[in-house]
Structure 1
């Protein structure tokens, strides 16, 4: 029986072969793509439990396709596997939306541990989210938690990542009260105690940018110095 379906986006032949063999030994079904464009095409054609992503791809930087992968499959975690190892580079990966980051070279056992942990955590999240409201009204806009779409009464819908959607949902459900960065981080982190408070600021910045591209929202995310954030209805 299959342990799950994984999309591996990796152009380096030796690394790709190592991942394929290691995952196959644990009964995972692996679909491999040698470029960003091939990876996107595979994600459009099929459902996966995990995206395993190298960053140094021949046609595009792997960081640039994380958002597109999550638009295609919002609830599928992304595990970056890369030689980029500085704190700044790893931070970029998490800020782009990755759920975990594994530095090359790695031990096969560590790869399996990370993969199984992310898939298990994703399944737990799906079960927990099934008990939560599927839609949250923010004045005339509606946040859909099953698809992570922020739908407007008129115009183009806004596609959010899992973290962006869960953060916005928490603020919306707080009724205008201030929510601390720690509370927001707990809501969006895939593992208890994981993540960095700065992640909250990055996600809020991304939400604001996405909204700005389509026009004015009936709400604002307000920064309350030394306390956190709150959602303010406007208009």
Structure 2
């Protein structure tokens, strides 16, 4: 049975979400603070984590970062009242795979859960992706440009990984949002532009040629 860890300090909301997840057939463990969540992550075999940003003691962001060292491949959905693009970038860079703003529809949460679980189960088995002098190792999460190691944030890595799985294809912004962020982010589509900018800065830091090309009015492509 799919096992989900729900980390939420609002007891009534936690109980409501737990019951809805149970009804969908998921096994749910609930933690009301960050330290309990970290202990559960170490002891349980988890398939997904739903994590509130605002927690007593350790913040949800710090918990997210620590969870990533324990359950590196497990999807994390972050719940928060923060809705600015900058906040979303911070949350995603902390290691979250998805982001849901409170108050939210339980149907939307269930859809996000199903999407993230499906993507996790369908992950490509290829360990190393390469294009020109660029290589990405999915297991070690290391990226090299020729012999130069490039340090990327979690979401920068995810975006580059997606581009590397579709070389020379023109990928629309809508498709990138759906596949990398996993939900409709149309009102904040400029988040892709921001991440592409960050990626280019790092990939071309030594004046290497540009590999990520902009297709005006459409999206992006990885090509020489």
- What TM-score do you get using the length of structure 2 for normalisation? 0.66
Show the counterpart of 1:88.
84
- Structure 1 residues 63-212: aligned runs within 5 Å: 63-70=61-68, 72-82=70-80, 84=81, 87-88=83-84, 92-93=87-88, 96-97=91-92, 98-104=97-103, 110-111=105-106, 113-126=107-120, 128-130=122-124, 133-138=126-131, 142-145=135-138, 147=139, 149-151=141-143, 161=154, 163-172=155-164, 181-182=173-174, 184-191=176-183, 194-196=184-186, 197-204=189-196, 207=199
Q: How much has 1:210 moved relative to structure 2?
A: 8.1
SS of aligned partner of 2:84: helix
Deviations 1:112-151 (A, max 9, x none): x344323322343245433x74321256663234x47125
Question: Which structure 1 segments of 5+ residues have no match?
Answer: none
Query: CA 1:144–1:58 in 2, change beyond 3 Å: closer, same or farther?
Result: same
2:7–2:33 Cα contact (<8 Å) kept = yes
2:3–2:28 Cα contact (<8 Å) kept = yes
SS of aligned partner of 1:79: strand
In 1, the alpha carbon distance for the partners of 2:28 and 2:133 equals: 43
Q: How much has 1:25 moved relative to structure 2?
A: 4.6
In 2, the alpha carbon distance for the partners of 1:21 and 1:180 equals: 37
- What TM-score do you get using the length of structure 1 for normalisation? 0.63
SS of aligned partner of 2:53: coil
Show the counterpart of 1:38.
36
Aligned Cα RMSD in Å? 4.2
SS of aligned partner of 2:27: strand
The number of residue pairs the alignment matches comes to 216
Q: How much has 1:61 moved relative to structure 2?
A: 2.6
In 1, the alpha carbon distance for the partners of 2:141 and 2:39 equals: 21
2:170–2:221 Cα contact (<8 Å) kept = yes
Deviations 1:150-176 (A, max 9, x none): 255989895753x53342134446667
Question: Which structure 2 segments of 5+ residues have no match?
Answer: none
